[in-house]
Every structure is written in C-alpha cells, then in structure tokens.
Amino acid sequence: MLWSSVTLAVARNKTVQVFRHNLTLLLRRRNFSTTGLYGISHLKSPKGFQSFVDEAIQRSGELVSYISTKPSASEIMRAMDEISDT
C-alpha cells in the first residue's frame, strides 16, 4: 500500500509539473494584450468582456425578434443555431 501511495504522489507531482510547464509556455507564446483571450479582440481587457456581452445580447435579441415574425422552419432553425453560437 505504501508503494502505491508513493507512486501516486510521484505521478501527481509530475502531472502538476507538466501542467505548470505547459501553462508557462502558453503564456509566453500568447500575448493576450494584443490578441485577446481565445483570439477574440474584445477580450483584451476586463472592460472588453462587458462590450462582448452587450453585443451578444443585442444580436440574440435581433434573432429572437426575427424568429417571432414566423419565417420558414429552416430559417428558424438557422437563426436558433446562430443564437447558440452567440
């Protein structure tokens, strides 16, 4: 039992070390201040998150209004798919 506990502790430590190393490499490669989080330009700063949310809410509202005009079933499905992407 002792060996399995020691082995597990070593494995966990290696996992943590690998995670930290990969995170460090990722942060070195990605300059979020110029590209934005996930490559989305709005997400360069905390203030950008609010702008991103506001635009998503506005676009979703436009799509809901469009759906309420009772277009064809295929147009409704396309609009609902776009809402889920927003």
pLDDT reading at 24 higher than 80:
no
Position 28 scores a pLDDT of: 60
CB 43 within 8 A of CB 49: yes
In 2-86 the beta strands, taken as DSSP E runs, fall at none
* pLDDT of 22 above 60: no
57 vs 24: CA distance, rounded Å: 34
Segment 59-78, tens digit of pLDDT: 888 888 888 888 888 888 88
Whether pTM exceeds 0.75 = no
